[in-house]
Structure 1
């Protein structure tokens, strides 16, 4: 093992046990209690690369098969690192790379270029059969709602839709807009459960195609439509009684929050209600995780509430309700990761081994963010008039009971990918 890697791991791993196997044999780090993880480096150059830039290289080396987890799994390895205090292990080289990323991030924030469609295509236009390997039957690619605890992923995703639609207070005759409509599940649930006319917009051509096919199969073409549309170009003279956005706001970018909510002000009716469901982090980030930005969500940014709320206020909108879901995405990601690993051979057949390892690292790292870094889900209910919603939350639970009754007689969902 290189001396620089030995020094770094000696400073970082204090709690738990990390066994590192390399060209020079086996080395133990940590107290001997807690998690026990064993990794192996396939070459000395991989050891040097990890020390030079761990934020990027850890994921890349795992993708390339140059770091192999031999005891435990990649989630356990990432969690072991987060169980310890990383600050003590920072080297001058790591600090300089971090400083460079801060400068680059600030530059991009001040010279914004709209790459929304390209960024969306990078992730969401992948082969639809990939997502069928791990998502629920309705292809909900956002945090589920595990209420009551212990329910299945499919049940939790239905509970998520039920909870959000209850907050919308949608009624027959309303016109609704979904910003970031995914594969159409939320729009169809809203239309069928509440009798509203729904327009869903997306920047993914693959999701658009599947959404239209699904709506047609369910006989909803007259009440649910999907369009390839950027929210920013929505016509200001078109008003909606209800607006919902689930798992899309993470792609808006912090420089565009004012634009986003100004557009909401333009298109939300005076008595309208919006529900925004997004991943949140406990404080603003100085730059994105470089591996996630390069391989998974280019241009994405996880907001903090302190960044979002001022933009809502400056757009002339009112916050009528905020709910924090601290651990529900951790549970969701665990289900996704277990399902993906059970179908890993199919992912390799669709792409290759390197892609499968990339996806495994992505799901594990995302789960770890919720179990160890205080990431969470926030749901913000937004109105123009405070009288648009009741002054207590009882209506949410009453409406959820009505929606649950509707679900018992709803047409079964079909598997999208055959």
Structure 2
């Protein structure tokens, strides 16, 4: 009969043999020596009676809560269910906490991790939320495959607003040389005169106080893409991956391949061309004969454009440089999608009524039916609303004096 031995932890371990065990043996741990010896006697009796051990003992051992988060995060990354945009966050979280055991991930540990992200790393709330969401989904997937662990996902215990800086977080962050970060919503619209300046510089204008102007690769390609995005709301990747056969110049419709899809799904939406877009594309293509399957813009075929993320980064930087060249330093390329949303919402017919319904706008912008994204993207200028108000003929002024 196998003899138990005492482990450094004080518990007792016994090794039992069976041909179906991995390596021919399996280890069992008990709180006392008596329990270990009693289990060994039962095992010996089953062997002498030619009885098979319980089936659950013959199955390969599954990892317990002692598995590290690096494995949990890695399995989620390799599952195929993680969004492509989440992969970079998963790598970051693995570097930060990959060595922590899953069994140690409780509410107390999470609070400590949150404090590290706020005080030591001084991250914004949205960056903190991305980390916690990635970690939470990885743990969910792991627990679905290992129900024997019997543990709940501690991420779900975090209260609403956990990523925001509390007064204590603010004090500690400032003492550590940081600041209390907040999510700053983007509501940047083009100010009066800025659109004309951008068109001017993308058309080749050079500032007299500079030795040289912008290097506009592709000639008027960047100008045409700007006019396309600001007047339709296409996402940057949707714009630079357009092919000639997606432009129906007769029907004045753009067949856009959407980018917000998972796991290789391909879907399209139809976007109507405003006159500004139609004329810009017509003039642009008049100088560039192209086959139906050719890219409308040349940026996908530049040297080193081997990844979509690289092309997106290059174009975002070119737009930023062009904006700064004319003194617009706080405008991002994605702000043009906000501007386009507002232009669609402000578009009126001959009777002064809204040109498109909200359901139609959702289809144009690539949002799901019933989505509230239009409300998030809408940022109406107070001066425009005031001009509309004062354009209405005033009624008779009531006198407050006595009759």
TM-score by structure 1 length?
Answer: 0.25
Q: Which has the larger radius of gyration?
A: 2
Compare the two structures and name the one with the higher strand fraction.
1
TM-score by structure 2 length?
Answer: 0.25
More relative contact order, 1 or 2 (CA 8 Å, 6+ apart): 1
